[in-house]
Amino acid sequence: MAFRISDNELLQACRLLFGPDVQLSSEFLAYLQPSGAKSAFRQRVKETHPDALGGFPAAGAASTATAFQDVVASYELIQDFFSERERGLWRPEAPAPAPSEPPSAGFRAAAAEDSGRFYAGMEQVPERALPTGLFLYYRGIIRYHQLIEALVWQRRQRPNLGDIAQRWGWLQAQHVREILAYRGNVTRFGEKAVSLNYLDHRQLTTLLYYQRSQQRKFGQFFVEQGLLSPTAMEDLVAELREHNFQVSGAFSSF
């Protein structure tokens, strides 16, 4: 069964839920999680629900009802996407054209705009161990789409598994092409390589560990974008470590 929702439809739905400042791409869709979409949906419902108009004129009520309907339809479309992605039916389309403004400019604009799109679903940070990005999100410091932009940034500047494995002599160029072309029930490069018996689980674990050791720290993205100072980021990381220690003795893995 083919994937029935186009990336363009999904990105338009995400723009409606997350706002015009989000840097949309297939990578955004790859990282998008149900919890983030649900949080954005709840906020948009508060903004567009017809009852929010109170005693405003009927014309305004009709306009709000239409906006509310669009929000619901967008959220339902994204839920369908999650279902089909989970079944392995979604494959990223060609990368979207580069945005007309640098990501840093868009990021600063999003940070400066008081749109109320920060996380507001709980009174406190969830009582479980969290990675850095989710901790910043639940603390209300970043928006969910900014979390995804940071994940995409981190992924783009780390070496890919295929290059590392070729450099170490574990894979050949032909193997990499076959792995990339594989359309089984797994989507990640490493999982595909194991499924095709080009790598074993121990080799994959070693590659992933090395890859993570070469990538820049997650919080550096927010420092470079001017949203947090180096000192503020260090303080938040210390706060996160204390939080994770309190709830489970675990430390952040981002």
Query: Any idea where the domains of the chain sit in the sequence?
Result: 1-96, 161-214
Q: Residue 51: which pLDDT band, with cuts at 50, 70 and 90?
A: low
Per 3-state DSSP, what percentage of the chain is helix, strand, and coil (rounded to 5)? 60, 0, 40
pLDDT mean over 69-97: 76
pLDDT band at 153 (very low <50, low <70, confident <90, very high): confident
Per the confidence metrics, is the pTM higher than 0.75? no
10 Å Cβ neighbour count for 48? Answer: 20
Highest mean pLDDT among 37-41, 77-81, 100-104, 189-193: 189-193
132: Cβ contacts below 8 Å, ≥ 6 apart: 218, 219, 236, 237, 240, 252, 254
